Amino acid sequence: MSSGRPAVFFDRDGTLNEEVEFLSRPGQLVLIPGAARAVRAVNDSGMICCIISNQSGIARGIFAEADLVPVHAKLERELAREGARIDRIYYCPHHPTAGLSPYNIVCECRKPFPGMLHKAETELAVDLHRSFVVGDRLIDIQAGQAAGSKGILVLTGWGMHARAEIAASGVTPDFIAASAVEAVDYILHGDKGEKTTDD
């Protein structure tokens, strides 16, 4: 059995910051209210805190990988202003069909595949079976569950739309939360929000 530490993996857009299609400039990044508090609570708990984000805008030629550097620097500054930090940011620049080489490939790092979680498992000694993925899309839940982690749907970003998609898919989130704050409250303190499974 793993002796690693548990982690919380946050999706980025629509979960920690406001949803913007193909966000590529620091000025577009605005934290969702409470997001920094949620991240800080994970930090204070001793759990590892990561971001896992699909960034197919790179494969599509909409922006370059280098454009993510100032965006993520802004994200980290905004979090730091409220005493929060991200231990590692993982992103997938690929798309299975769109765009040009070398990015137009099927890869294990693109959610719903769990490659980014397995990378964290190796690099940060994460115990995936005691970890959580928090996101606003079906693919976040699928990636978490594929890695043996729990998946929590948040109703920010695309969450309300994803809720209907998830219901039709047969995938069951381990929890549905109004926001990242409520998701982290559930992770750290147990059942206070909306359960998705029968007792």
Segment 138-162 mean pLDDT: 98
Alpha-carbon distances, residue 157 vs 47, 148, 153 (angstroms): 24, 25, 11
Dump pLDDT digits (tens) for 70-127.
Answer: 999 999 999 999 999 999 999 999 999 988 889 999 999 999 999 999 999 999 999 9
User: Is 115 part of any domain?
Assistant: yes
Domain that holds residue 86: 7-189
- The C-alpha atoms of residue 20 and residue 30 are separated, in whole angstroms, by 9
User: Is 2 part of any domain?
Assistant: no
Q: What is the CATH number of the domain that holds 152?
A: 3.40.50.1000
Would you say residue 189 has pLDDT above 90?
A: yes
Alpha-carbon distances, residue 100 vs 2, 58, 76, 92 (angstroms): 39, 10, 30, 15
User: Is 199 part of any domain?
Assistant: no
User: Is 21 part of any domain?
Assistant: yes
CA atoms within 13 A on the CB side of 69: 4
Number of structural domains in the chain: 1
User: Is 29 part of any domain?
Assistant: yes
Q: Can you give the pLDDT at residue 2?
A: 55
Helix axes 35-45, 68-80, angle to 10 degrees: 70
Percentage of the chain with pLDDT > 90? 91
The catalytic residues are 11, 13
User: Is 61 part of any domain?
Assistant: yes
User: Is 17 part of any domain?
Assistant: yes
User: Is 195 part of any domain?
Assistant: no
